[in-house]
Amino acid sequence: MPDAMKTARTTDPSYELMDDHNGNSLIYREHGFPCPLVRWHNHKEYELHLIVASAGKVFIGDYVGNFAPDSLFLTGPHLPHNWISQVEDGEVIAKRDMLVNFTDELLQAGNQVFSELRLLAPMLERSRYGIEFRDPALIRRAGTLMQQIADSRGISRLGYFFILMELLAGCDDYQLLSGTTATQLSDDQHVDRTNLAVNYIFDNYMRELPLEEVASHLGMKPTYFSRFFKRATGRCYVEFVNSLRISKSCELLTDSDKPVTDVCFESGFNNLSNFNRRFQQLKGMTPSRYRRLAMQRLTEQNLAV
CATH of domain 3-176: 2.60.120.10
**Residue ranges matching CATH 2.60.120.10 in the chain:** 3-176
Contact 160, 167 (CB under 8 A): no
Per-residue pLDDT of 284-296, as tens digits, reads 999 999 999 888 8
What architecture is the 185-301 domain classified under in CATH? Orthogonal Bundle (1.10)
The pLDDT score that the predictor gives to residue 89 is 82
The pLDDT score that the predictor gives to residue 9 is 35
**Residue ranges matching CATH 1.10.10.60 in the chain:** 185-301
* Helix or strand (DSSP H, E) at 100: strand 93-102
Per-residue pLDDT of 218-277, as tens digits, reads 888 898 889 888 877 777 899 889 988 998 898 899 888 899 999 999 999 999 999 999
Per-residue pLDDT of 145-165, as tens digits, reads 999 999 998 899 999 999 999
Helices marked H in the chain: 3-8, 104-113, 121-126, 136-151, 154-169, 188-204, 211-217, 222-233, 237-255, 260-266, 272-283, 287-304
Gyration radius (Cα) of the chain, Å: 20
Mean pLDDT of the residues in the chain = 84
Contact 81, 128 (CB under 8 A): no
Q: Check residue 84 and report its DSSP letter.
A: E
Amino acid in position 237: Y
Task: Using DSSP bridges, classify how beta strands 46-51 and 72-75 pair: parallel, antiparallel or unpaired.
Answer: antiparallel
| DSSP code per residue over 126-157 | HGGG-EEE--HHHHHHHHHHHHHHHH--HHHH
Considering the chain, what percentage of its residues have pLDDT values greater than 90?
Answer: 46
Considering the chain, what percentage of its residues have pLDDT values greater than 70?
Answer: 87
Contact 61, 113 (CB under 8 A): no
Q: Which range, 10-14, 90-94, 112-116, 300-304, has the best average confidence (pLDDT)?
A: 90-94
The pLDDT score that the predictor gives to residue 10 is 34
Q: Which of 252, 278, 287, 279 is nearest to 86 (CA)?
A: 252
**Rounded to 10 degrees, what is the CA torsion of 293, 299, 301, 302?**
160
